Structure 1
Amino acid sequence: MKLKLVSFLFLAILTQATQAQNGNWKNLFNGKDLSGWKTVAGAATFEVKDGVIEGTAVHGTGNTFLITEAMYSDFILEVDLKINHISSNSGIMARGQFDPAARDGKGLVFGYQIEADPTPRAWSGGIYDEARRGWYYPLDLNPAAKSAFKMGEWNTYRIEAIGNTLKTWVNGQEVAYFVDDMDSKGFIGLQVHSIQNKEDEGRKTYFRNVRIQTANLKPTPFKGDVFVVSTLKNELTNEEKKNGWKLLFNGKNSDGWRGARMTTFPTTGWSVKDGILTIAKTDGSESQNAGDIVTKDKYSAFDLAFDFKITEGANSGVKYFVTLSEGNTGSAIGLEYQILDDVNHPDAKQGINGNRTLASLYDLIKADKQPRFVRKPGEWNQGRVVVYPNNKVEHYINGVKVIEYQRGSQEYRDLVAISKYKVWKDFGEAKEGHILLQDHGDEVSFKNIKIKTLK
């Protein structure tokens, strides 16, 4: 009896160890039929053949989703996915949502979608907020991951949705890191995208090995220095702190900032409330009221990220390499990431070929952006400026790279020579400078202002 008890205990311990090693996976697809799943929102079809879910495109219908009947909050999901044609854009819904009454009763799927992108853009594994807020993690933020997805081959997706954090991998490659608190629970969904051309009808998207963990979850830390997109207020992840990121705005007060032409922070105009830094609306004039504010510290090579929200018709800017040495009146001089309501502010039509529009290098280089990647006044946009040690500079809007130039190059100097900045010697070529937030007389808000020094 004692021997049997010992054997039983040994077997129990071995079973627990095996389950821990295997991660307590549960199959969401049984390999035989679509039990536990249902098709919504479109007329594309799903069927099971040889242990594989085949989704077939149908012309003239919207995006179609095969979704789980069960809802999930925290989980780790793995799915194998295969696409054979460039028209077969697809994706995996994580914590997906469904409104059956939308679109005149056809229904609408919305929420976090992990992209499967067979086009040359190569944003597979990126995070798109389907039918709601649009792109949050395009792969311009992680170019190294663009080669992970393989057309015509099985690709293994791993998705970790734990707390407010969503991480993705494609074929073992770290892809996207998104922190957001919009949805805490929802379904898992497999997408067959709508198609534009009738000749693409019948093309298939394939899924297999759909499995999930929901208990005893342990987040997998990214090994690489992957950029983090967060919609929260002024919080850094442990990985960001480890990788050298620091908050320039703590969400509580003006520590680290002062007036551009003052030794202290302005007493009027600028305010901090509920984790948001706001410049109040006055008369639309440039730096004639509360005035610009600058960081107390100076920066040389850096990665700067910031969230901004404009009001209708607003004008502002984030400047860098601000030396405060020009002795000019008005706004302090520096390279400027333009913040503007392109639709309603006249400055968008000034300058040369649109070089004063949103996310442009003001008065020098136009931002090459599509309207669908820009959020409206009253909504938060993510801006980013990267200055590399070799003086290459990039501007981003909502994760999409819209400008790249070489500070100090002949091409750059030729642009300066025909701009408003031509009167200042060596404009924008200082070794280091302050970061500046502009008061242009319009209400504009900021949060999540963070920076990392590059070496």
Structure 2
Amino acid sequence: MRKSCLLLLGCLFAFGLQAQNDGWTEMFNGKDLDGWKKLNGEAEYHVEDGVLVGVSKDNTPNTFLTNGKTYGDFILEFEVLVEPPLNSGVQFRSLSKEDYRNGRVHGYQVEIDPSTRAWSGGIYDEARRGWLYPLANNEAGRKAFVNGQWNKYRVEAIGSELRTWVNGVNTANLNDDMTSEGMILFQVHSIGKNKDLIGKEVRWRNIRIKTDDLEASRMDIAPYAAEINMIPNTLTDYEKRKGWRMLFDGKTTDGWRSARGQKFPDRGWKVEDGVLTVLETGGAESEAGGDIITEEIFGNFELILDFKITEGANSGIKYFVDPELNKGPGSSIGPEYQILDDEKHPDAKMGVSSNRTLGSLYDLITASNLSVPGNRKPFRGVGEWNRARIVAKDNKVEHWLNGNKIVEYERGTQMWRGLVAYSKYKNWPAFGELPQGHILLQDHGNEVHFRNIKVREF
């Protein structure tokens, strides 16, 4: 009888602990690093007063500490205190494989960024695609992290939905399916040649994870933290609510036609594996299949598309296009988001002050990183998918590249007309001032790939 009572009390005690923890498991015991291992670098880790401490070191690449376990869907919480300006992060769903850059850790990272850029809580794809969710368009998120104090992080990775919070502020909402499971690792960033960063510390505490009953524990996303969907040719429920719709279904050319006719070109373009491709035909402008335009016209709109260029390629995205303006040789007329291999195509060195380079308003305004002044344009490279975004509202227009603003201007102003007067468009009356027009993808005779073309109107 006494034994049965003791068993019953033990069960009740265990149940009480589980209820109290609400399904959370402590990842770090606060005492030692038994079972943990370092990858890639030689930065130091130790335990101090129940806190995990990482210490930067000279002449070593990024260093990662992991318990080696693999996690799929989970909610992770931790607190972090970092010595500025040391950069850090926590990897999740990340991998280390011998057949990928000799074991280089790669995968999602929630950023710890004490710099003036202030992208803490953004999502970076370590050693793979780079920034997936920078905070250039989330001002509330940029203000969440506070230097000199403990900051509480929350990461929800459930299915393809990856969401982050810093001090209760929603910093990132990403939809991506490249990696469904992997390790969680605590990073001490390489310091490069900055000797002043030797010995700087990043500290973590209260590290806990939950892997069951996740739906009931999810937090609501905030209206100021727009969702970014990286899954090609799809619309999430969030995007549908916000008015987004596809301009390319990934299978057909429905909704598109030649800029010089009522049908889609019978050569020069193809659709394959969810990608719309303009084919290589020697580099001439609009002499093969020719430009294609949307059947619809747009005034106030936001356009997103992914593009991938081949070496030396030239193309462009034009908007406010009237195909009747130019019946002669060459491309149809309209403001252009330039798509170009700046390193290999000669057009990059033409024009004025590099205003024909990638992302520029072609022949008018040079693209530069306006989100983080002084940083280079965030181009992922030839052969990689890059995301273009164009926002046009009430004559104000913005170009974005991979989440960073690179051009902004206002049509119809004295400055606008002055720019046009010194460009190749000077002979086109009221160039770029149509209230609405077609969206155009340019055939410049080089192989360029497009996918995930979507739009919403204001």
Tell me if TM exceeds 0.5: yes
Task: Tell me the secondary structure at the aligned position of residue 271 of structure 2.
Answer: strand
Q: CA deviation at 1:416?
A: 0.9
Structure 1 counterpart of 2:202, which letter? Answer: T
In structure 1, the residue matched to 2:153 is: 157
The separation in 1 between residues aligned to 2:316 and 2:21, in whole angstroms, is: 51
In structure 2, the residue matched to 1:340 is: 340
In structure 2, the residue matched to 1:215 is: 212
Deviations 1:279-326 (A, max 9, x none): 111121111221111111111222211001111111110011112342
Asked if structure 2 preserves the Cα contact closer than 8 Å seen for 1:78 and 1:159, the reply is yes
Q: CA deviation at 1:332?
A: 0.9
Alignment gaps of 5+ in structure 1: 1-7
The separation in 2 between residues aligned to 1:227 and 1:361, in whole angstroms, is: 25
In structure 2, the residue matched to 1:392 is: 396
Distance 1:451 1:226, change over 3 A: farther
The separation in 2 between residues aligned to 1:267 and 1:220, in whole angstroms, is: 50
Deviations 1:140-199 (A, max 9, x none): 243332111111111111111122232222122222222333222211111111223223
In structure 2, the residue matched to 1:147 is: 143
Asked if structure 2 preserves the Cα contact closer than 8 Å seen for 1:44 and 1:192, the reply is yes
Asked if structure 1 preserves the Cα contact closer than 8 Å seen for 2:316 and 2:336, the reply is yes
Structure 2 counterpart of 1:337, which letter? Answer: Y
Stretches (4+) displaced over 3 A: 18-23, 99-103, 225-231, 369-372
What does residue range 300-311 of structure 1 map to in structure 2 within 5 Å? 300-311=299-310
The separation in 1 between residues aligned to 2:286 and 2:219, in whole angstroms, is: 47
Identity among equivalent positions (%) equals 52
Structure 2 counterpart of 1:80, which letter? Answer: E
What does residue range 49-448 of structure 1 map to in structure 2 within 5 Å? 49-86=48-85, 88-99=86-97, 108-195=104-191, 196-218=193-215, 219-224=218-223, 226-329=225-328, 330-369=330-369, 373-389=378-394, 391-448=395-452
Q: CA deviation at 1:235?
A: 0.6
Distance 1:352 1:21, change over 3 A: farther
Structure 1 counterpart of 2:325, which letter? Answer: E
Asked if structure 1 preserves the Cα contact closer than 8 Å seen for 2:141 and 2:225, the reply is no
The separation in 1 between residues aligned to 2:37 and 2:413, in whole angstroms, is: 57
What does residue range 17-28 of structure 1 map to in structure 2 within 5 Å? 23-28=22-27
The separation in 1 between residues aligned to 2:140 and 2:411, in whole angstroms, is: 24
Q: CA deviation at 1:101?
A: 8.8
**After the TM superposition, which of the residue ranges 150-159 and 140-149 deviates more from structure 2?**
140-149
Q: CA deviation at 1:19?
A: 6.2
Query: How many residues of Structure 1 are paired with residues of Structure 2 in the alignment?
Result: 442
Distance 1:321 1:29, change over 3 A: same
Asked if structure 1 preserves the Cα contact closer than 8 Å seen for 2:45 and 2:54, the reply is yes
Q: CA deviation at 1:262?
A: 1.4
Asked if structure 2 preserves the Cα contact closer than 8 Å seen for 1:221 and 1:239, the reply is no
Distance 1:54 1:270, change over 3 A: same
Structure 2 counterpart of 1:124, which letter? Answer: S
The separation in 2 between residues aligned to 1:205 and 1:101, in whole angstroms, is: 30
The separation in 1 between residues aligned to 2:410 and 2:223, in whole angstroms, is: 26
Q: CA deviation at 1:71?
A: 1.1
The separation in 2 between residues aligned to 1:68 and 1:407, in whole angstroms, is: 55
The separation in 2 between residues aligned to 1:210 and 1:317, in whole angstroms, is: 47
Asked if structure 1 preserves the Cα contact closer than 8 Å seen for 2:138 and 2:224, the reply is no
**After the TM superposition, which of the residue ranges 416-425 and 391-400 deviates more from structure 2?**
391-400
The separation in 2 between residues aligned to 1:438 and 1:101, in whole angstroms, is: 38
Asked if structure 2 preserves the Cα contact closer than 8 Å seen for 1:36 and 1:70, the reply is no
TM-score w.r.t. structure 2 length?
0.90
The separation in 1 between residues aligned to 2:100 and 2:310, in whole angstroms, is: 29
The separation in 1 between residues aligned to 2:100 and 2:265, in whole angstroms, is: 48
Task: Tell me the secondary structure at the aligned position of residue 263 of structure 2.
Answer: coil
Asked if structure 1 preserves the Cα contact closer than 8 Å seen for 2:140 and 2:224, the reply is no
Task: Tell me the secondary structure at the aligned position of residue 105 of structure 2.
Answer: strand
Asked if structure 2 preserves the Cα contact closer than 8 Å seen for 1:174 and 1:224, the reply is no
RMSD: 2.6
TM-score w.r.t. structure 1 length?
0.90
The separation in 2 between residues aligned to 1:41 and 1:243, in whole angstroms, is: 42
Distance 1:357 1:72, change over 3 A: same
**After the TM superposition, which of the residue ranges 441-450 and 193-202 deviates more from structure 2?**
193-202
